[in-house]
């Protein structure tokens, strides 16, 4: 085994998603993943805690999202600040080169109830983080929570659209359009 | 042990919450709960799967919520239909006699990260059920999801207010007021 392991993390992640698709998530072991990547099992554990970590530890969208919401111009309204946040995700996290990985990741998650639960918790965590960032801009209690729920929905819906195999648009463009549609929908449902 | 066990389920639930408060959730066993209630361990397992079941299996708000949304008058708008749903919860699930149990339940959940995760999943499930019920009324995709997110927030915020120790109002009244505040907040945050 070479001691120099270029792109080990990405090779392990790609190997894992290949195997999850080929033989199923449950049936794939960490040893299988390391072998497919041509790396040692110990190398896997330097990069991930376990095989679920391949799907959930990779990106940390909360950081750039919260930072961009906080840094949005003072005159930006609550949902406008969310738009700055989603735009930052398109630049820093959901970049074009990450799209193939994301596509395969979603397919694995959709197929497993326990992974869908984990994904739902991650989404709830992102919504909560958005709520705190919006409240930090001086938006009062319930309005900050409304903004976070709508922002969380925008993020989820934009992520689904962006990871559609037929799509080609930037995440930022998709997110902006999704937020506009949510603004219109909100006017309809108020009743 | 008497074979006739009146109100066994409620006695077990009350005993469990007393013990969770006194000695902590982790430190309480099913045997402790059964003993405190003056019942056999086997009786506990006829009513609950495990001690977590005392906190999460008790009520199934999704049923009455979804039924009332589906049965709302045809001319009711999406958020108005949610109002019918929350009103049904006040009549059938979050009744005045359930308030003391709910207060203690919330305190236990707040104190444990894994129980908070379980609660977040339950909330996500209720939001999804609301979304399907609203879509079943012919509300198109994104508008149904927006309604569900706002309805889910209304349910969560109303539940928090209702289970505040200082509160005395009916759940239905609190929910109606919360939904009104959310309607106003939505107008503010659209930006």
Contact A146 B145 (CB under 8 A): no
Contact B149 A147 (CB under 8 A): no
CA distance B185 to chain A (A): 5
Tens digits of residue pLDDT in B60-76: 788 999 999 999 999 99
Of A76, A117, A191, the CB nearest to B80: A191
Asked if A187 and A79 count as a contact pair (C-beta separation under 8 A), the reply is no
Instruction: Calculate the alpha carbon distances from A105 to A25, A46, A93, A154, B134 in Å.
Output: 11, 21, 15, 20, 29
Tens digits of residue pLDDT in A88-121: 999 998 998 888 888 888 889 988 888 888 888 8
Tens digits of residue pLDDT in B4-51: 677 898 899 999 999 998 999 999 999 999 999 999 999 999 999 899
The closest of A163, A156, A54 to A99, measured between CA atoms, is A163
pLDDT, position A12:
94
Tens digits of residue pLDDT in B65-116: 999 999 999 999 999 999 999 999 999 989 988 888 888 888 899 888 888 8
CA distance A163 to chain B (A): 17
pLDDT, position A149:
96
Contacts of B96 (CB under 8 A, 6+ apart): B170
Measured torsion, CA atoms of residues B47, B93, B152, A61, in degrees rounded to the nearest 10: -20
Tell me the average pLDDT across B171-183.
95
pLDDT, position B100:
84
Residue B76's region, left for phi above 0, alpha for psi from -120 to 50, else beta, is beta
Q: Which two tokens stand for residue B48?
A: 């609950």
Of A79, A124, A153, the CB nearest to B190: A79
Q: How many residues does chain A have?
A: 191
Segments in chain A forming alpha helices (H): 8-23, 30-37, 41-47, 51-56, 62-71, 78-92, 99-110, 113-135, 141-162, 171-189
The A-side interface with B (CB below 8 A) comprises 76-80, 117, 120-121, 123-124, 139, 142-143, 145-147, 149-150, 152-153, 157, 178, 181-183, 185-191
Of A143, A178, A185, the CB nearest to B143: A185
pLDDT, position A59:
56
pLDDT, position A57:
66
Along the 191 residues of chain A, how does pLDDT read in single tens digits?
A: 445 677 898 899 999 999 998 999 999 999 999 999 999 999 999 999 899 888 886 557 889 999 999 999 999 999 999 999 999 999 998 998 888 888 888 889 988 888 888 888 888 889 999 999 999 999 998 999 999 999 999 999 999 999 888 888 999 999 999 999 999 999 888 76
Q: Which two tokens stand for residue B187?
A: 């107008």
Of A76, A178, A189, the CB nearest to B79: A189
* A126 contact residues in B (CB cutoff 8 A): none
pLDDT, position B3:
54
* A149 contact residues in B (CB cutoff 8 A): 149-150, 152-153
Give the span between the Cα atoms of B156 and B96, in whole angstroms: 17
Domains and CATH numbers, chain A: 8-55 (1.10.10.60), 59-189 (1.10.357.10)
The closest of A128, A127, A138, A146 to A72, measured between CA atoms, is A138
Interface test with A, best of B76, B116, B149 (most A CBs within 10 A): B149
pLDDT, position A132:
96
Asked if A186 and B186 count as a contact pair (C-beta separation under 8 A), the reply is yes
């Amino acid at each position: 085994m070479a001691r120099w392991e270029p792109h080990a993390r990405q090779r392990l992640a790609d190997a894992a998603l290949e195997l999850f698709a080929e033989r199923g998530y449950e049936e794939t072991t960490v040893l299988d993943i390391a072998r497919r990547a041509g790396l040692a099992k110990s190398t896997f554990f330097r990069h991930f805690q376990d095989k679920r970590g391949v799907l959930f530890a990779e990106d940390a969208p909360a950081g750039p999202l919260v930072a961009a919401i906080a840094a949005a111009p003072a005159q930006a309204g609550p949902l406008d600040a969310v738009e700055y946040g989603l735009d930052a995700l398109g630049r820093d996290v959901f970049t074009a080169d990450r799209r193939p990985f994301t596509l395969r990741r979603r397919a694995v998650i959709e197929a497993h109830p326990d992974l869908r639960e984990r994904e739902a918790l991650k989404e709830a965590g992102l919504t909560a983080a958005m709520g705190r960032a919006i409240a930090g801009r001086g938006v009062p209690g319930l309005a900050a929570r409304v903004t976070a729920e709508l922002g969380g929905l925008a993020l989820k819906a934009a992520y689904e659209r962006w990871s559609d195999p037929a799509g080609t648009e930037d995440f930022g463009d998709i997110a902006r359009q999704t937020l506009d549609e949510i603004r219109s929908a909100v006017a309809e449902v108020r009743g």
